[in-house]
């Protein structure tokens, strides 16, 4: 996490000449920063504000309940605060997502797949459509919702993080701690599966 209080330190240009001692010196300075990284209140707050909405959505796609997802976000960040000395700021993202995922896992049976999504309104209003067309659109949406519920775990989150949260594949890969290629494969599979499921419904 590039926290507010620390940005200036990261702007120090890295040394052009590669004297080992200089490198060690700069590494030591970085480490110094990590030590109070997430434990620093302002760093923690900005981490929360930038990451919590994404984590909430991710957990929402997994457990199917917005309120429960918000509670799990709280749990995850409490754990981050307790472990702030052990988690490096740039690892905090993936760390939080893994903690959150484990919490959903513990919910076990109670975790459900979202069956109903909200839709942006502009889709309907921008097109001046006939009632039949609107009905058809509504049907198609319902079919797509059902198909998304039928997506395999893994593919579903990747698909929604991209479509709803607008995250790039590289960003998703970073959050889930997998390769970008793996994200792209899951995304591809999601689209193929959605089409197949959709054809069946």
Partner 1 sequence: MEPSFQDETLLARWLSGELSPAEEKALRERPDFADYERIAQLSSQLRAPDYDARAELARLKARRATAAKTRTLPLRQRPHYRWAWYAAAAVTLLLAAWFLLPKAGDHYEETGKHLLADGSSVQLNASSKLSFLEGETRAATLSGEAFFEVEKKDVPFVVTTELGTVTVLGTSFNVYERGQEMRVACQTGKVSVQFSGQSMAHPLTAGESVSLLPDGTVANNRSTREETLDWLNGHSYFQNRPLSEIFAEFERQYQVTFNLPPAFDDTELASSRFTNDNLEKALVELFAPLNFEPNLVGNRVIVE
* Cα 85 from Cα 46, distance rounded (Å): 17
Decide if residue 45 touches partner 1 (CB under 8 A). Answer: yes
Q: What sign does the dihedral 87-93-99-103 (CA atoms) show?
A: positive
- What is the rounded (10 degree) CA torsion for 101, 75, 106, 113? -60
* Cα 96 from Cα 102, distance rounded (Å): 10
**∠ CA 92-95-101 to the nearest 5 degrees?**
140
Decide if residue 149 touches partner 1 (CB under 8 A). Answer: no
Q: Which of 86, 110, 112, 188 binds partner 1 (CB under 8 A)?
A: 188
| Secondary structure (3-state) at 74 | helix
Structure token digits, residue 120: 């942006």
Decide if residue 183 touches partner 1 (CB under 8 A). Answer: yes
Instruction: Output 52 or 107, the one with its CB closest to partner 1.
Output: 52
Instruction: Output 109 or 118, the one with its CB closest to partner 1.
Output: 118
| Interface segment toward partner 1; rule CB under 8 A; list 16-24, 25-33, 47-55, 89-97 | 47-55
Q: Which of 165, 171, 174, 178 binds partner 1 (CB under 8 A)?
A: 165
**What residues from 1 to 40 belong to the interface with partner 1 (CB under 8 A)?**
none
Only one residue has tokens 């957990």, namely 59
Decide if residue 123 touches partner 1 (CB under 8 A). Answer: yes
Decide if residue 98 touches partner 1 (CB under 8 A). Answer: no
CB of 30 to partner 1, least distance (A): 27
Closest CA to 174 of 100, 91, 102: 91
* Cα 130 from Cα 132, distance rounded (Å): 5
CB of 74 to partner 1, least distance (A): 5
* Cα 183 from Cα 56, distance rounded (Å): 20
Decide if residue 200 touches partner 1 (CB under 8 A). Answer: no
Residues that bind partner 1 (CB under 8 A): 45, 48-49, 52-53, 56-57, 60, 66, 70, 73-74, 77-78, 81, 117-120, 122-123, 140-141, 144, 148, 159-160, 162-165, 168-169, 181, 183-189, 191-192, 194-195, 198-199
């Amino acid at each position: 996490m590039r926290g507010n209080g620390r940005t200036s330190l990261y702007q120090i240009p890295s040394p052009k000449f590669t004297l080992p001692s200089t490198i060690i010196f700069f590494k030591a300075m970085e480490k110094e920063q990590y030590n109070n990284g997430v434990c620093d209140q302002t760093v923690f707050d900005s981490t929360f504000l930038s990451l919590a909405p994404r984590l909430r959505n991710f957990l929402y796609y997994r457990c199917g309940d917005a309120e429960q997802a918000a509670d799990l976000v709280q749990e995850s960040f409490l754990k981050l605060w307790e472990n702030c000395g052990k988690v490096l700021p740039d690892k905090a993202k993936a760390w939080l997502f893994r903690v959150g995922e484990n919490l959903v896992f513990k919910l076990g049976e109670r975790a459900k797949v979202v069956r109903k999504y909200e839709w942006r309104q502009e889709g309907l209003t921008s097109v001046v459509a006939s009632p039949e067309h609107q009905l058809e659109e509504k049907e198609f949406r319902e079919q797509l919702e059902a198909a998304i519920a039928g997506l395999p775990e893994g593919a579903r989150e990747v698909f929604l993080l991209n479509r709803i949260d607008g995250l790039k594949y590289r960003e998703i890969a970073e959050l889930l701690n997998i390769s970008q290629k793996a994200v792209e494969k899951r995304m591809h599979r999601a689209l193929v599966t959605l089409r197949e499921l959709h054809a069946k419904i």
